[in-house]
């Protein structure tokens, strides 16, 4: 199995509190994505940038997510813009050395 890491960044045009409220209501839906092992929610309030780091079981699960309704919901949200998805392969050897989950 070839794990895939996905980094998604986007800009937001609402307050941090409004952003946290908006995404908190979506967390349960993300938790139920097939093939998603975990998601880390990230926020850079100073730059009005947010996003996530996702670990998927494989490329198929990542592709299904990117072409699915939750991704479309983020893309079409009026307060979010410039969404940039970046997929990566996971390097298990060096990751294990640095105590990363593999």
Q: Residue 102: inside a domain, yes or no?
A: no
Q: Containing domain of residue 24, as a range?
A: 4-97
* pLDDT tens string 3-59: 999 999 999 999 999 999 989 988 999 999 999 999 999 999 999 999 999 999 999
Specify the CATH number for the domain of residue 22. 3.30.70.100
pTM given for the model: 0.91
26 within domain boundaries: yes
Output the pLDDT for position 101: 76
Bridge partners for 6 per DSSP: 54, 87
pLDDT tens, 63-101?
999 999 999 988 999 999 999 999 999 998 998 899 987
Query: How many domains in the chain?
Result: 1
∠ CA 95-96-99, rounded to 5°? 90
């Amino acid at each position: 199995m070839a794990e895939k890491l996905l980094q998604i960044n986007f800009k937001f045009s609402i307050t941090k509190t409004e952003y946290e409220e908006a995404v908190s209501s979506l967390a349960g839906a993300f938790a139920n994505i097939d093939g998603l092992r975990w998601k880390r929610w990230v926020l850079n309030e100073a730059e009005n940038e947010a996003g996530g780091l996702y670990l998927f079981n494989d490329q198929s699960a990542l592709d299904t997510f990117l072409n699915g309704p939750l991704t479309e919901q983020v893309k079409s949200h009026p307060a979010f813009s410039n969404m940039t998805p970046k997929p990566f392969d996971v390097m298990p050897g060096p990751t294990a050395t640095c105590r990363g989950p593999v």
